[in-house]
Amino acid sequence: MRIVVLAGGIGGARFLRGLLAAAPEAEITVIGNTGDDIHLFGLKVCPDLDTVMYTLGGGIHEEQGWGRADETFTVKEELAAYGVGPEWFGLGDRDFATHIVRTQMLAAGYPLSAVTEALCARWKPGVRLIPMSDDRVETHVLVETDGERKAIHFQEYWVRLRAAVPAHAVVPVGAEAAKPAPGVLEAIAAADVIVFPPSNPVVSIGTILAVPGVREAIAEAGVPVVGLSPIVGDAPVRGMADKVLAAVGVESTAAAVAAHYGSGLLDGWLVDTVDEGAVPQIEAAGIRCRAIPLLMTDLDATTRMAREALALAEEVRA
Ligand code: GDP
Ligand code: CA
């Protein structure tokens, strides 16, 4: 079975662990979000690709959910001693090595997809990880501070400001001119099932869908497209997805996120048992829906979620 997953960082990566356990024989292609990418200290940092790579490769800081385990911060301290920031983005020494290798390869002319493949040769994530595009796409958020509106990089909004300022729009800058990376459209066309993990619907999956051709390819693939809600009990399980959903005019409910993807794209949707009451409404909108426990508390729970997603896909296919 060939499974394609559109993934952001933590939510996508943790789900993928369960999917690998639920479908060990499957060929899994992960299309990773690169809208979060940022240039820091002259280095190209790809937070979502790295979270997937480190999580599946056994290098992740488990409790934090991003960055490396057993990390030290000597380089960061030395940069701070020179007065060189930003100090709000936590890059550890081990992590720095990844960004140095990536930046060096990009400078040598390799596209990001080839660089990602090279990095994965070390981490062996057990999936094929492809960035959504080799072209630069950067998510910006239109915020209001001191009565003035300005667009800032997503990481500045998310990490520095903790999404605590009003946001009016989320713009994947560069997306309209970006091409899907080699292998992206091919993987979608060859897929038996397409899965939207519980990743951020706006700045993770939404950004991938904004690359011209991706949404169309998924809609036209003619295979089940199933998703799992990142919103449980009207709030994100983790993080501040409610803030970016509000910025694009979507309520923070499992039903509203399903409607946001729409029945033209999504065939099946899993909501948490606490949101069971929303099932009839989602089904009335033309999306097959089931309520099951959706908290990725451990590998067993996550594996059950992945199994349910695959079962829902078969139900939709039948
Ligand atoms: P990011 O790029 O690191 O922000 O990660 P993603 O976009 O892949 O996923 C973020 C989303 O994962 C958040 O909106 C969370 O609500 C969701 N999430 C995190 N843990 C869980 C969980 O255990 N269950 C569900 N259903 N969603 C989760
Ligand atoms: Ca992210």
* Topology of domain 2-58+124-134+177-317, CATH: Rossmann fold (3.40.50)
- How buried is residue 113: exposed, middle or buried, by Cβ count under 10 Å (0-12/13-18/19+)? buried
Ligand 1 pocket, mutate which of 45, 139, 199, 232 (most atoms under 8 A from CB): 199
Ligand nearest to the CA of 237: 1
Closest CA to 272 of 251, 260, 288, 290: 290
Give the separation between CA 163 and CA 241, rounded to whole angstroms.
9
Residues 6+ apart with CB under 8 A from 266: 196, 225, 226, 227, 258, 287
Instruction: Check: CB of residue 163 under 8 Å from CB of residue 243.
Output: yes
Report pLDDT for 146: 86
Ligand nearest to the CA of 46: 2
Helix, strand, coil fractions of the chain, as percent rounded to 5: 40, 20, 35
Q: How many helices (H) and strands (E) does the chain have?
A: 13, 14
What would the DSSP string read from start to end of 257-299?
A: HHHHH-TTT-SEEEE-GGGGGGHHHHHHTT-EEEE------SH
Instruction: Check: CB of residue 188 under 8 Å from CB of residue 217.
Output: yes
Give the separation between CA 228 and CA 15, rounded to whole angstroms.
9
| CA dihedral of residues 252, 256, 257, 260 (deg, nearest 10) | -130
Q: Which protein residues are within 6 Å of ligand 1, measured from CB?
A: 7-12, 48, 51, 198-200, 204, 228-230, 232, 236-239, 241, 294-296
Ligand 1 pocket, mutate which of 5, 6, 10, 30 (most atoms under 8 A from CB): 10
Atom of ligand 1 nearest to the CA of 232: 26
Half-sphere exposure (Cβ direction) of 128: Cα atoms closer than 13 Å: 19
Closest CA to 309 of 83, 19, 10, 8: 19
Q: Could you tell me the distance, in angstroms and rounded to a whole number, from the CA of residue 128 to the centre of ligand 1?
A: 21
φ/ψ of residue 52, rounded to 5:
-65, -45
Q: Could you tell me the distance, in angstroms and rounded to a whole number, from the CA of residue 83 to the centre of ligand 1?
A: 34
CA end-to-end span of the chain, whole Å? 16
CB atoms within 10 A of CB 109: 7
Give the separation between CA 13 and CA 194, rounded to whole angstroms.
16
pLDDT in tens, the chain (318 residues): 999 999 999 999 999 999 999 999 999 999 999 999 999 999 999 999 999 999 999 999 999 999 999 999 999 999 999 999 999 998 999 999 999 999 999 999 999 999 999 999 999 999 999 999 999 999 999 999 888 999 999 999 999 999 999 999 999 999 999 999 999 999 999 999 999 999 999 999 999 999 999 999 999 999 999 999 999 999 999 999 999 999 999 999 999 999 999 999 999 999 999 999 999 999 999 999 999 999 999 999 999 999 999 999 999 999
Which residue ranges make up each domain of the chain?
2-58+124-134+177-317
Q: How far are the Cα atoms of 77, 130, 302, 310 from residue 298, in angstroms, in the given order?
A: 34, 26, 6, 19
Nearest Cα residue to atom 4 of ligand 1: 9
